Amino acid sequence: MMEQNQDQTNEVEQEENCPVEENTQDKDNTKKPSKVQRIRSAIFELLVYVAIIVVCVMVVPRYVIQRTIVDGTSMEATLQDQDNLLVDKLSYRFSDPKRFDVIVFYPYGRENEDYYIKRVIGLPGETIQIVGDTIYIDGKVLKESYGKDPMTESGIASEPLKLGKDEYFVLGDNREVSEDSRYEEVGPVSRDKIEGRAVLRIYPLNKFGTLRSQGNKAKAAERSSDADTDDAKVVAIDAGHQSRGNSSTEPVGPGSSVRKAKVAGGATGVSSHVPEYKINLSVAKKLRKELESRGYKVVMIRTKNNVNISNKQRAQIANKSGADIYVRIHADSSASSSVRGASALYPSTKNRYVGKLSAKSKKLSQYMLNSYCKKTGIRSRGLSLRDDLTGTNWSKIPVTLIEMGFLSNPTEDRYMQKKSTQNKMAKGMADGIDKYFNR
């Protein structure tokens, strides 16, 4: 127990020696910090700490910046599974998300803890459409190269999709696996579901850095590789047909009143039972690989069987892709099982849609058929003039349709299904394309 009438210096000592005092009712407390004051100041200090902790633990992650872990491969090659990101939650309070920002959002609302990380492609009020691998914004091609592979699913954006006043259209960079705005379940993302912008990768450490600059680096690399391959010829390849035909019709050429089915069913191997759409795609993929190894750029109209792209659309994709030539791959069929051999189909000079492309198309057809038959040993049936093919008539670039052989001939069917044969088929076609371009 201490006396109260001591001087200040002693008082301080006393405080330190004896923090617990009993005389809280003391009247003398105007001259020196009383117990009440000391408690007040301690409480104040405590409150400051609590405030700092609250800001750090609650406010910063909630409103300013938060760590997020990538779950899954849908943003490859930009982000990998389990990358640790910092998400900036503040900027979007002052400005709107921009095109190509990588955002974190809650597709099913904030009450559901599932969040997605995707890239902004379409902005509020814009109309977006995806045809083949090309994205259109308000009818114009969007120049971007974030996609890891060509897109084969356009989902709800296969038809023009108008975004609402506060809606964003997002895509994962890994477009073959990403579940994003193309799909009904996610759809366009409203502003209130967007949590923030992924800005910084903090782990793994060897990839530490801002996402924006990494995106730019990737784009710069792509631009320079574009520059390197500026002379590269571009080949559009269409693997004919698809897993299900489409019997609704379309004009056989621009302005034509004659209409044909959008996609015919195609033949089936009489011995192998392999449908034409499968062997067409299998050879098309081998041709892509072969051409790319020879320095060409390749645009695949389809890379999956389960698509719905009409013959007119296929030609339009080829036209818009910037390709130099359009190669259509098919296999033939006849009522007679003895018929065999390969042919190449091209438009005549009298063709009212593509007559002026006839000469170049003939040259392409001739070179490809010759080299193909030479490499595979499949007999040549020669060239064939055809002005009734929708996919050819809508083309704006030299075009050929290769009938690789007869699926209705058991021997030829079995021969064409072999992997070794298909490698020869691809090499033969590529040889012909080399010749066409004087390589």
Closer Cβ to Zn ion, 266 or 269, answer by number: 266
Q: Taking the complex as a whole, how short is the minimal distance between the CB of residue 265 and Zn ion, in angstroms?
A: 9
Site string for Zn ion, 265-284 (x = CB under 5 A): -x------------------
Residue closer to Zn ion, measured from CB, 190 or 243: 243
143-146 contact pairs (CB < 8 A, 24+):
144/100, 145/219, 145/222, 146/78, 146/100, 146/119, 146/171, 146/173, 146/215, 146/218
Q: Which stretch binds Zn ion (CB under 5 A): 9-17, 47-55, 172-180, 324-332?
A: 324-332
Assess contact for 196 and 88: CB atoms under 8 A: yes
State the minimum distance, in angstroms, from the CB of residue 133 to Zn ion: 22
Active site residue 178: no
Given 32, 35, 74, 213, which residue is catalytic?
A: 74
Nearer residue to Zn ion within complex by CB, 323 or 401: 401
Q: How many residues of this chain bind Zn ion (CB under 5 A)?
A: 3
Q: Which stretch binds Zn ion (CB under 5 A): 52-60, 87-95, 105-113, 326-334?
A: 326-334
> Residue type at 26?
D
Q: Is 365 a catalytic residue?
A: no
Give strand pairing partners of 168: 189
302 binds Zn ion (CB under 5 A): no
80-103 burial, b at 16+ Cβ within 10 Å, e below that, comes to eeebbbbbbbeebeeeebeeebbb
How far, in Å, CA of 103 to CA of 322, rounded?
Answer: 31
Q: Is 113 helix (H, G, I), strand (E, B) or coil?
A: coil
Nearer to Zn ion, 189 or 331 (CB): 331
- Do you know the residue count of the chain? 439
| Pick 64 or 385: Cβ nearer Zn ion | 385
Structural tokens at position 32 = 């020196």
Instruction: Build a one-symbol-per-residue string for 228-267: x at contacts with Zn ion by CB under 5 A, - elsewhere.
Output: ------------x-------------------------x-
Is 412:340 a contact under the CB 8 Å cutoff?
Answer: yes
Reference 434, options 380, 358, 363; nearest CA is 363
Taking the C-alpha atoms of residue 95 and residue 87, their distance in angstroms, rounded to an integer, is 15
Nearest to Zn ion by Cβ — which residue? 330
Euclidean distance between CA atoms 426 and 83, whole angstroms: 40
User: Are the C-beta atoms of 333 and 410 separated by less than 8 Å?
Assistant: no
- 302, 330, 340, 381: which one binds Zn ion (CB under 5 A): 330
The position carrying tokens 């006839």 is: 358
Active-site entry in 118, 260, 262, 286: 118
* 241 vs 288 by CB, closer to Zn ion: 241
Catalytic residues: 74, 118
Which residues are at the interface with Zn ion (CB under 5 A)? 240, 266, 330
